[in-house]
Amino acid sequence: MRVAVLCGGNSAEREVSLRSGEAVYRALQERGWEAVKIDVGPDIALRLSEVKPDVVFLALHGKGGEDGSIQGLLEVMGLPYTGPGILASALAMNKIATKRYLRSASLPTPDFITLDKEETHDEWLQRVKEFRPFPVVVKAPTQGSSLGMNIVRREEELLPALAEAFRYDPVVLVEEFIEGVEVTAAVLGNRKPVVLPLIEIVADKGVYDYEAKYTPGKSQHIIPPRLPEPWQEKVKELALATYRWLDCRGFSRIDFMVDHKGNPYILEVNTIPGLTEVSLFPDAARAAGISFGELVERLIYLALGREE
């Protein structure tokens, strides 16, 4: 069986995607699969027609990879692929759409407002002040890897944070800041999804940003989280509910903040989580006794409709 590993692309997460793709490609080779690694460009349909894969492994982070675009192409070409489908991918890629969809199911997510690039500085400041006191979290809604994300603790930090977020998107998300413990839930499966061991994330400088995510030693992944068992069970239940509500399949990673009273809040859903040497999903799999190679194989079988 021939597997095409798609990675790279032209999103802001290109370098991370290349690392994920290389890790998947090596794992497949080591386990005896016929694998072809493709750096995705405008000729991707032609490349896939030439390679003629039996299944496509998506290690393509960011726009063009996680937003339903490549999934749509693969559907048209009749090629099975790893991870969620078009709708789940498109919804989860946009944090604003995700939060609105979660609210429609009464699933807890931090309160938020949106700001438009066409508004004035004074209008931005006024709307944020009316929203809630600082700190708040500013996010570029269609970026992953914490690109365009900043915690704004003082008024003078707001405009620089918005300027950075507006580099990526014309509409920006301003979110309620939840004080507590950051936890991530890796979910694996199609019709019978399971939550792998939860991970508590501790960044060395207090913010789990791009540098903390992809630089060895810049963050700690604590398994199990230092939370009471009933609090962890709440997170797992919400992770499964979110996974099913968005109609995810294959795998996804759902990020939470758990406040000091044990209330979990859904931050976002990652439909193609990182698969690098410092990524969270492989760590959760290892804690469940699943090696990286086994994880990659299981994702391929799930793409082909095999639950086991």
pLDDT given for residue 88 in this prediction? 97
Q: Do the Cβ atoms of 300 and 306 come closer than 8 Å? A: no
Q: What percent of the chain has pLDDT over 90?
A: 86
Q: Structure pTM?
A: 0.91
Distance CA 280, CA 142 (A): 20
19 shares a domain with 58 = yes
295 shares a domain with 237 = yes
CATH (domain of 148): 3.30.1490.20
pLDDT given for residue 220 in this prediction? 86
Distance CA 274, CA 259 (A): 25
Does the structure show a pLDDT above 60 at 206? no
CATH (domain of 41): 3.40.50.20
- Average the pLDDT over 208-235 and give the result: 79
Distance CA 260, CA 40 (A): 43
Distance CA 295, CA 82 (A): 12
Could you list the active site residues?
A: 13, 145, 279
209 shares a domain with 145 = no
| Between 45 and 209, residue with greater pLDDT | 45
What is the domain range of residue 62? 2-83
194 shares a domain with 277 = yes
Distance CA 303, CA 79 (A): 10
187 shares a domain with 254 = yes
185 shares a domain with 172 = no
Give tens-digit pLDDT for 112-154.
Answer: 999 999 999 999 999 999 999 999 999 999 887 678 899 999 9
230 shares a domain with 144 = no
In this predicted structure, which of 48-62, 145-159, 176-190 has the lowest mean pLDDT?
145-159
Does the structure show a pLDDT above 70 at 261? yes
252 shares a domain with 182 = yes
Name the CA radius of gyration of the chain, rounded.
19
223 shares a domain with 103 = yes
Does the structure show a pLDDT above 70 at 91? yes
**At which of 157, 176, 195 does a domain end?**
176
Per-state percent for the chain, helix, strand, coil, to nearest 5: 40, 25, 40
pLDDT given for residue 147 in this prediction? 81
- Average the pLDDT over 54-80 and give the result: 95
CATH (domain of 263): 3.30.470.20
196 shares a domain with 97 = yes
Distance CA 56, CA 274 (A): 17
232 shares a domain with 101 = yes
268 is annotated as contributing to ligand binding: yes
**At which of 161, 176, 191 does a domain end?**
176
| Local structure of 10: helix, strand or coil | coil
Distance CA 204, CA 232 (A): 23
pLDDT given for residue 276 in this prediction? 84
Q: Could you give the number of structural domains in the chain?
A: 3
In this predicted structure, which of 87-96, 196-205, 237-246, 267-276 has the lowest mean pLDDT?
196-205
Summary mean pLDDT of the chain: 93
Which residues pair with residue 175 across a beta bridge?
112, 137
**At which of 135, 153, 176 does a domain end?**
176
262 shares a domain with 125 = no
255 is annotated as contributing to ligand binding: yes
